[in-house]
Amino acid sequence: MMNNNYKSLSHCKYLVQYHLVWCPKFRFEVINGNIKKSLKNIFADICNKYQYGILELEVMPDHIHIFLSAKPTVAPTDIVRTLKSISAIKLFKEYPKLKKFYARCGSLWSKGYFVSTIGNVSSQTIKRYIQNQNSN
């Protein structure tokens, strides 16, 4: 069951990956052109700083898909909060028109998000592995 994608900390070996999706407030199609390019760079900088590994990223006009890896000590809600808050601050600073567009509600991103854990094996494989532990 060992895999080359596993990473290590001082007392654990892990593979933690999340698929995250969220939208701009009111799902307005505001992420395009230069904003889209800037946002991708902002996400890369944030992930580099916080040691999240971007495995795949797609920025759509009305939502974000990001597939990333993280340490097991970081909760997915903290990852989303970090990505949303820092990216909104930086985008509003870089694009005053975007800030003005969202001035009434005061935030770029909607409150909600989607998160799914991802692994390199199926749930059936894990179940079989656990069930067969005592047969050795």
Q: How many angstroms separate the most distant Cα atoms in the chain?
A: 65
Q: Is residue 4 part of a domain?
A: no
Based on the residue annotation, tell me whether 129 is a catalytic residue of this protein: yes
Instruction: Indicate the number of domains in the chain.
Output: 1
Q: How confident is the model over 59-101, as pLDDT tens digits?
A: 999 999 999 999 999 999 999 999 999 999 999 999 999 999 9
The CATH number of the domain holding residue 61 is 3.30.70.1290
Which of 16-25, 30-39, 68-77, 116-125 shows the lowest mean pLDDT across its residues? 116-125
* Domain span including residue 22: 10-135
Tell me, yes or no, whether 79 lies in a domain. Answer: yes
Q: What was the pLDDT predicted at 3? A: 56
**How far is Cα of residue 126 from the mean position of the Cα atoms in its chain?**
24
Q: What does the pLDDT read at residue 69?
A: 94
Residue 2 has pLDDT above 90, yes or no: no
- CA atoms of 54 and 56, how far apart (whole Å): 6
Is residue 61 included in any domain, yes or no? yes
Q: Which of 18, 102, 113, 129 is catalytic?
A: 129
Query: Within 13 A of 84's CA, how many CA atoms are on the CB side?
Result: 23
